[in-house]
Amino acid sequence: MAEQQVIRILRDKRSELAGLVKDLEQQLGERRAALTHLDATMRLFDPEIRPEGIGPRPRRRCNAWFRPGESLRLIYDVLRDAPRPMTTREIGERMMDLKSIPVSDDRQRALIQKTVLASLNRAKETIERVETAGVVGWRVR
């Protein structure tokens, strides 16, 4: 009896995965067609262009903690209220408090800090890196 239940659950999971694969294959076909049309349009404007030579741009992955752009907005909120430049670790800790992110281990804390550092480095025009006594801090310009 239990074996039949296991088989039913496995069949359901296989059906779900097969549906995902089918959808992804359809999306892939649509994207390939769009790419072909784009290449043809580029050739209309420049017959000498070789679209095959244009490399793909890597896509940034979203993470589980922050929606797109949310990390940088929270960094601005934290730094705006800071009386002095803050370290990446301090900013990360403050953001985890603001978002009520439970940190279960040091690896998760390090990954959040890495996310914060990447956002800080992308905002070089508005957030300034300050080094004091060998410690790197950040502040809003």
Per residue in 53-90, pLDDT (tens digit) is 999 988 767 677 888 888 888 898 889 888 888 888 88
Query: Chain-wide mean pLDDT for the chain?
Result: 88
CATH number of this structure's domain 70-140, picked from the four choices 2.30.42.10, 2.60.410.10, 1.10.8.60, 1.10.10.10? 1.10.10.10
Q: Cβ atoms within 10 A of the Cβ of 58, count?
A: 6
Q: Which residue has the higher pLDDT, 26 or 121?
A: 26
Average pLDDT over residues 122-138: 85
- pTM for the full model? 0.55
pLDDT of residue 26: 97
pLDDT of residue 139: 84
pLDDT tier at 17, thresholds 50, 70, 90: very high
